[in-house]
């Protein structure tokens, strides 16, 4: 995959990993469509891209609202006809135990992190199949590989992302559709600050682990390189990624370690 000249649509593009994905693609000469529910911030990102001499189109919508997601997808396809690369990056995290998390909050997390990505992917897929090429990417998490305290719905949504997009990849190999799933560990973003509590309120705190993670810029560069190299999955982060391998090869050890992990 050569990003230069391609039409790339990125969700969650107003901050964090998503914003850096935009700039990483801009430096490669992509034509960009950027989305999130923060229109003011998106317009700032757009201006930064235009300073780099790159076309950038803002399409704001709320990933938690199915109709907005569907309508935005239809509108984007009407304007651009086809998308070369879709990066489903938008998401929200959680800081609450299972017993304290309402069903409304669980549904919201699943809607944002999983269902919105499914909706947009299904909308762009027919055009990619018709063109005989295309890339669909999605952001999971290392908690998509194992459970973690205070992250029940978040972990469930990220497990779902892995399962859905792996299936999408297998079904569409013959159609020349590339599917890449990024699995970040700790990245320096506001994901913990913007996380929701069990009742849906904003958590509002920066986790120690988050603040000590790799930079969002570094994460985005690794993410886009994985797309360029047609990687099926890419683990991105620091020493915390070892937990993925420990869970796979030494499950009993993982269980002992996981119960001692500081939950924040």
List, by residue number, the catalytic residues.
Answer: 154
The CA–CA distances, whole Å, from 105 to 9, 85, 230 equal 27, 30, 35
Write down the residue that tokens 């990505």 correspond to: 117
Q: What span, in angstroms and rounded, lies between the C-alpha atoms of 186 and 244?
A: 13
Residues 6+ apart with CB under 8 A from 30: 3, 4, 5, 6, 7, 8, 54, 85
CA torsion 211-202-161-136 (nearest 10°) is -80
Contact indicator for 140, 98 with CB cutoff of 8 Å: no
Give ∠ CA 20-126-36 in degrees, rounded to 5. Answer: 30
Q: What span, in angstroms and rounded, lies between the C-alpha atoms of 32 and 20?
A: 13
The CA–CA distances, whole Å, from 149 to 207, 240, 257 equal 13, 15, 12
């Amino acid at each position: 995959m050569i990003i230069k000249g391609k039409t790339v649509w990125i969700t969650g593009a107003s901050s964090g990993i998503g914003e850096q994905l935009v700039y990483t693609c801009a430096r490669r000469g992509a034509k960009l469509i950027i989305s999130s529910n923060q229109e003011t911030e998106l317009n700032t990102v757009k201006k930064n891209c235009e300073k780099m001499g790159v076309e950038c189109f803002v399409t704001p919508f709320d990933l938690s609202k199915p109709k907005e997601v569907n309508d935005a997808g239809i509108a984007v396809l009407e304007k651009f006809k086809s998308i070369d690369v879709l990066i489903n990056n938008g998401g929200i995290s959680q800081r609450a135990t299972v017993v304290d998390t309402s069903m409304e909050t669980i549904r919201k997390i699943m809607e944002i992190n999983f269902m919105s990505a499914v909706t947009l992917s299904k909308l762009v897929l027919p055009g990619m199949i018709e063109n005989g090429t295309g890339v669909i990417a999605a952001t999971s998490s290392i908690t998509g590989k194992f459970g973690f305290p205070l992250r029940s719905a978040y972990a469930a949504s990220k497990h779902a992302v892995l399962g859905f997009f792996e299936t999408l990849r297998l079904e569409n190999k013959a159609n020349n559709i590339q599917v890449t799933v990024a699995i970040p560990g700790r990245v320096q973003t506001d994901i913990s600050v913007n996380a929701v509590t069990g009742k849906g309120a904003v958590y509002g705190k920066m986790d120690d682990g988050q603040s000590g993670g790799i930079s969002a810029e570094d994460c985005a560069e690794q993410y886009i390189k994985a797309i360029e190299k047609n990687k099926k999955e890419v683990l991105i982060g620091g020493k915390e990624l070892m937990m993925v391998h420990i869970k796979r090869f030494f499950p009993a050890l993982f269980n002992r370690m996981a119960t001692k992990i500081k939950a924040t």
